[in-house]
Amino acid sequence: MTHPRLFGALVLALATVASSAARADNKGDIVQTDTLGMNMYTYNFSKSKSTDVTDAQNLSEFIGLHYYVIDHLRLGMNVQFTEQLAPTPATGESRFRTFALLPQVGWNFYKPFFAALVLTLAPRTSGTNTFDAGFQGVFGASFELSSRVRANIALEVPVNFVVATTIGVTPLVGISIGL
C-alpha cells in the first residue's frame, strides 16, 4: 500500500475507539447511517494492474437504513453515490461514477467492534450505465457520541467480478443515528 501513514492512522483510530464504551444494539432497533469513503487501492486481476488514490480520487457517500433482527445482528440496505473529484473527467464524461444498492448483514460481535458482509449491485459504474456486482467485507468500530448518535470508522475490502475481477481497500468514516 502506498500510504502507510493513512493505514497507521486507521489502526490507531480503531485502537482508540476500542477503549470507548458503546451499548450493544438490541432487537428491534432501527439505525440510519451516513458514511463517506474513498477507495485507496485496487488491484485488477483481469488486467494485472494496480491503482491507488494517486490515480483518481473518487469520494463515495453511503446512506443506509438498518434493522436489528436479533440482539447484535442487523439487516440493512445502503445506497452508494460516488463522485470523481480528481482528475477532472474528460470533456463529456460525468463526475458521477457509481450508483449501487448494497444489501447487507452486520454483526456487533464485541463492543465496540462490528463486521458486515455486503452484496454490491451497481447499475452504474465507471461513469457509465454499466452493471457490476460483487461483495464487500467490512470491519469497524463504533463509539457513542450521545444516547442516539455514534461515530463509526471502518475498513472495507470490496471485490467486484462482472466488469472486471478486482479487490480494493477503502477506509470509511461516518455516523449512525438511532431512530
Owning domain of residue 131: 4-178
The answer to whether residues 68 and 74 touch, using CB atoms and an 8 Å cutoff, is yes
What is the tally of structural domains in the chain? 1
pLDDT given at position 6: 58
- E strand or H helix that includes residue 62: strand 57-70
pLDDT given at position 4: 59
pLDDT given at position 92: 83
- E strand or H helix that includes residue 26: none
What CATH number is associated with residue 57? 2.40.160.20
Counting DSSP H helices and E strands in the chain, the numbers are: 1, 10
For cell 461515530, name the residue: 151
pTM, two decimals, is 0.84
Rounded average pLDDT per 10-residue block, the chain, 179 residues = 55 43 73 97 96 95 97 97 92 91 96 96 94 98 94 98 96 96
Nearest to 167 by CA among 36, 37, 48: 48
